A = this chain, B = another copy of it.
Amino acid sequence: MTTVKDIAAAVGVSVATVSNVLNGRPNVGRVIRHKVLRAAKRLGYQPNRAAQAMRTGRTRAIGLVLPDLTNPFFPELAQAVENTARNLGLLVCLVDSQGRAEGEADGFALLMQHAVDGIIWCPVGPRLPPYLHDATPPVVLIDRPRPGFPVVHSDYLMGGRLLADYALRMGHRCVGLLSGPQNLASARQRRDGFVEAFPRDITVAWEVSVGFDGILNAEALKALKRRGKATLIVAGNDLIAISAMRCLVESGIRVPEDVSITGFDNIRWTDVVTPRLTTIAQPVGAIGAKAVQLMQARMSGEKIASGRTIFDVTLVERDSVRRN
């Protein structure tokens, strides 16, 4: 690897001057500036980030801590984060906690050792772990708000309302709720947005809460089989909806002929299951990009509000809901 020293030697100036040129400082003349730049290019100079990091305390790397790459929401997010980060010259260090707080803590420790400049984080568990004290680099949360931190996520209440409006419009008056984990605000708001948008028209025949990974518990299975008067099942996300559909058809219940169903997230697979799933689309790419931008702003010293950045969602009407 060529270093500033090599460039300095090649051009015949001091390393300080090389550094000054490379960092765009004004105190160096045109001709030497050009010489240095050309030598740098010719020698294929790549800055040694470790040395820079040691001197400046900034690594130009950020952490991305996710609970579960297996949920298709997250790869899409990761892709967006990585790409916009790369365009800013930031390296993305990945931690997949597999939903375990312990793994998350380990990953965090690793990120701290490597002194990442910031962390984009979708936390597991209801509260922030204790290792988040003042010395920690800036954190931007994704999807799961915690007091004191900026967070970016979709307008889940709006999503719930859109679904409610749509359900109403399609003539459904009695629904079953297969909500996500109610300790997560994102799941709660989807549900609440839906429920609150029906002043009194609605009847909730039953409500069961399951994990976002779409693994249905016994209670959910039971609710699906004898589904009461519900003509529409509102699932907490697409994974849940798809699992539920699978379970229904296996019990000989047809979708949407016998019962309608909606999802949330608009993952790729909503379009290939049968019937294609009606759902709410989140702008995942925009969310990831925004998180990186916030991060970058905080890293470069701007004081950004520790509030929320919320993205609109849209209804994607497909084939899993029929008029009642």
Question: Could you tell me which A residues sit within 8 Å of B by CB distance?
Answer: 1, 46-51, 53-54, 59, 61, 64, 69-70, 72, 74-76, 78-79, 82-83, 86, 89, 91-96, 98, 103, 106-107, 109-115, 135, 242-243, 245-246, 249, 268-269, 271-274
Q: Which residues of B contact A1 (CB under 8 A)?
A: 135
List 27 A–B pairs whose Cβ atoms lie within 8 Å, in order of A's numbering: A46-B109, A46-B113, A49-B113, A50-B114, A50-B115, A61-B93, A64-B94, A69-B76, A69-B79, A70-B268, A72-B75, A75-B78, A78-B96, A79-B98, A83-B103, A86-B106, A89-B110, A91-B93, A94-B94, A243-B272, A246-B271, A246-B272, A249-B274, A269-B269, A269-B272, A272-B273, A273-B274
Chain A interface helix/strand/loop/mixed: helix
| A130 → B minimal CB distance (Å) | 12
Beyond A69-B75, A78-B96, A269-B272, 9 extra complex contacts between A and B, CB < 8 Å: A48-B113, A59-B114, A70-B76, A75-B78, A79-B96, A82-B94, A246-B271, A269-B269, A273-B274
Q: Which residues of B contact A61 (CB under 8 A)?
A: 93, 114
